[in-house]
Amino acid sequence: MPEVRFNDRVAIVTGAGAGLGKSYALEFARRGAKVVVNDLGSAVDGSGSSHNAADLVVEEIKSAGGKAVANYDSVSSVQGGESIVKTALDAFGSADILVNNAGIVRDHSLQKLTEDEWDIVMAVHLKGAYNLTKPALAAMKEKNYGRVIFTSSGVGLYGNFGQANYAAAKMGLVGFMNTLVIENLKYNIKLNAIAPNAASRMTEKVLPPPLFEKLKPEHIAPMVMWLASEQNQETGMIFNCMGGWYSRTAVMCAKGIIIGDGTMTVTPEDIQAKWDTIKSLDGARPLSSIGESFGFVAPLLQK
Ligand code: NAI
């Protein structure tokens, strides 16, 4: 296999001062990329800020002979997103790779979840991706080249107690990506998502110790490097990654059944009668757009 290299590529990694983002930034630099190490330097709940986190990663990259620049803006504002992308353009003249990674948690079950906790989690994860991806894609389109990675989560894809705000934001990213994939098909721009699980300060209180020991950020970085590479031609996919396990996951549509001919009234009893077929995932597959879903009622148009 040819080596995955990022010579002459510029990678922006948000939240790269710690955890998963730090391991991506170090690996991008080792493989020849010039890296924008963005980090607000906040606590895991998004409070506070410090330049230390980003500065230390930049120092580590530079002392190993790599190229990196720090940025301390929050991803949660439009101005922050623009400034992060501008940092890449000003320092290195390009923005070829964007890893939307910055994240926080404010966990509570719904009745205890405050509006502020909902809003700040949305602002960092979902709006943060909007704030970064919009200016980054503008730069990528000009060069007809780009790779974008979104950080979703099994919490959003499959659910988890006490994380409704985080789950909604992480699943929202999938919808955001799906549409951007369609809007960028004519460019050499590939957008994919990961759903990682790894030891970090975010998971130190939730992962049982034996798993915390085993699941390293360095298990996630190879998937991010691959999706960010020029060789990667996939777009619009979501990959679970943890501890060396890599698996595609997807929103799928099953074949289902057409009841009636489009003119008759369908009753709840008809639904009940066909329930096993309707809920079956037999033959389920991902769709490339909502347009493809209209194909399922094509037989009605022929009548
Ligand atoms: P972490 O807490 O170790 O690192 C997150 C970094 O993001 C921190 O350095 C923090 O300062 C930075 N950050 C927070 N808010 C920011 C903002 N507004 N602007 C810029 N930087 C900001 O967390 P970890 O585990 O490395 O998480 C990275 C991403 O992976 C997050 O999006 C998280 O939701 C996601 N994730 C992590 C999982 C895990 O198992 N660690 C599981 C599923 C998803």
Cα 130 versus chain centre, distance: 11
Q: Is the pLDDT of residue 85 over 70?
A: yes
CB proximity list for 300: less than 8 A, separation 6 or greater: 258, 261, 262
Ligand 1 atom closest to 125 (CA): 32
Structure token pair of residue 38: 């963005």
What's the confidence (pLDDT) of residue 149?
99
Nearest CA to ligand 1 atom 38: 197
**What was the pLDDT predicted at 143?**
98
Contact 187, 142 (CB under 8 A): no
Ligand 1 atom nearest 17 alpha carbon: 9
Q: Give the length of the chain.
A: 303
Report CA 161 to chain centroid distance, whole Å. Answer: 21
Question: pLDDT tens, 249-290?
Answer: 999 999 999 999 888 899 999 999 999 999 999 999 999 999
CATH superfamily, domain 10-249, is NAD(P)-binding Rossmann-like Domain (3.40.50.720)
In the structure encoding, which two tokens stand for residue 231, read together? 């060789």
Q: Is 119 exposed, middle or buried (0-12, 13-18, 19+ CB in 10 A)?
A: middle
Domain ranges in the chain are 10-249, 252-303
Residue 269: which residues within 8 A CB-CB, separation 6 or more?
none
Q: Which residues line ligand 1 (CB under 6 A)?
A: 14-15, 17-21, 38-42, 44, 46, 53, 74-76, 101-104, 124, 151, 153, 196-198, 200-203
Relative to the CA of 102, which ligand 1 atom is closest?
A: 7
**Catalytic annotation on 166?**
yes
Nearest to 37 by CA among 77, 79, 92: 92
**Centre of ligand 1 from the C-alpha of residue 294, in Å:** 38
pLDDT at site 264: 86
The active-site residue, picked from 145, 166, 187, 246, is 166
**Pocket probe mutation, ligand 1, options 42, 119, 125, 126, max atoms within 8 Å of Cβ:** 42
Among 12, 22, 36, 40, residue to substitute to test ligand 1 (most atoms within 8 Å of Cβ): 40
The pLDDT of residue 263 = 85
CA distance 88 to 143: 14
For ligand 1, atom 31, the nearest C-alpha belongs to: 103
Give the position of tokens 């919490």. 155
Instruction: For residue 21, give both structure tokens.
Output: 């983002």
Contacts of 228 by beta carbon, 8 Å cutoff, 6+ apart? 6, 11, 28, 97, 99, 147, 149
Please identify, by atom number, the ligand 1 atom nearest to the C-alpha of residue 74: 19
Give the C-alpha separation, 296 to 162, whole Å. Answer: 37
**241: three-class secondary structure by DSSP:** strand
CA 36/CA 80 separation, integer angstroms: 13
CA distance 39 to 55: 9
Element (H, E) at 105: none
How far apart are the CA of 284 and the centre of ligand 1, in A? 33
Cα 15 to middle of ligand 1, angstroms: 6
Report which of 225, 224, 220, 226 is spatially closest to residue 242, judged by C-alpha positions: 220
Q: What is the pLDDT of residue 303?
A: 65
Amino acid in position 47: S
Model pLDDT for residues 97-109, shown as the tens digit of each residue: 999 999 999 999 9
Question: pLDDT by residue (tens digit) across 184-225?
Answer: 999 999 999 999 999 999 999 999 999 999 999 999 999 999
pLDDT > 70 fraction of the chain, expressed in percent and rounded: 100
State the pLDDT at residue 2.
87
Determine what percent of the chain is predicted with pLDDT higher than 90.
96
User: pLDDT digits over 17-46, tens only?
Assistant: 999 999 999 999 999 999 999 999 999 999
Q: Measured in angstroms, how far is the CA atom of residue 204 from the centroid of ligand 1?
A: 13
| Cβ proximity of 193 and 239 under 8 Å | yes
The pLDDT of residue 216 is 97
105 CA from centroid of ligand 1 (Å):
8
Query: Is the entire prediction scored with pTM above 0.85?
Result: yes
8 Å CB contact between 285 and 253: yes
Q: What is the pLDDT of residue 280?
A: 98
**What strand order describes the sheet that includes 34-38?**
67-71, 34-38, 10-13, 97-100, 146-151, 189-196, 238-242, 245-249
Q: How far is CA 128 from CA 11, 38, 178, 252, in A?
A: 17, 12, 17, 26
The Cα angle at residue 133 between residues 4 and 96, in degrees rounded to 5: 30
User: Of all atoms in ligand 1, which is nearest to the CA of residue 46?
Assistant: 15
Count Cα atoms within 13 angstroms, Cβ side, for 175. 9
